[in-house]
Amino acid sequence: MVMTETKKISHCQNQGGLNMRIIALVSMATIFGLIFMVCPSICTEAEDDGIVTTGEVEILAGSFVSLEMDNLRAQDDRVQKADQYLASLGFQPAKEEMTDNLFGIKQNYSGLVDGVDEEQTYELYLQEYSNPDSEMTAAVGRIVLRDSAGTYTNTYTFILEAPKADVSSIQEYYVGGSPVALEIVEANSWWTCIIGQLPKIGDECGSSIKNCSPTATSIVGYIGCVATNCGPSFSKASICCSCGCDRWCRWAYGCCNM
């Protein structure tokens, strides 16, 4: 079942000065509240046709993620649907800018595909939702994958729910249906796919799925912990699970089934 929305668009949207990146051969550095993870080409080698790609991974500041989610709630019908669904259950977006509430990744990929230079950008935004009267916690997520030519963009809007007593027991829903009849649908997709991919990367990364659970108090904090422990490998798995094995993005991220 395809649970992403792929659109063909006529122009490329420029993120302008909001993009923050650092170019260095270090795996992690903390600068003014931003954590940057730079992935060497060896860990971003595509599985398709032996194409080697290089990409920079950025873990985005909470203030940036908060602003993007506010903009999406104001303008995007799928994020609005997810927000309305959680509001009907008594949940509100957590606004305090801390790692337990906000998490985001951005990565640019480039490579030579069939003799043509290609570039793609992947973005992931997560925001915690809280309800003090509920035994559950929740989060809304948004994934965007686009090519630099402005030809394709793939979006996936989803909801994560888990018991407060065990935030690693995540159930995922996605926003599906047509624009005039959106619906919340139970899914086994992005997060399930990542859980399946990380143990293949290495023991340390795979064990973080379990090791981050006892100390996490929110879904976003838990996923952020896993991402930090896995480094660039988390971003690669997340992107692979978002691509959907389409040829236009598979060259860079490989093919993983949701």
Q: How do residues 140-162 score in pLDDT, each as one tens digit? A: 999 998 887 777 788 899 999 99
Nearest-angstrom CA–CA distance, 147 and 248: 8
pLDDT tens per residue across span 19-34: 333 333 233 333 333 3
Below-50 pLDDT ranges, the chain: 1-4, 6-50
The alpha-carbon radius of gyration of the chain (Å, integer) is 17
* Per-residue confidence (pLDDT) for residue 204, from 0 to 100: 73
* Per-residue confidence (pLDDT) for residue 134, from 0 to 100: 96
HEC per residue, 89-109: CCCEECCCCCCCCEEEEEEEE
Distances (CA, A) of 41 to 53, 56, 107, 255: 6, 10, 13, 18
Residue 186 contacts residue 161 (beta carbons within 8 Å): no
Residue 139 contacts residue 148 (beta carbons within 8 Å): no
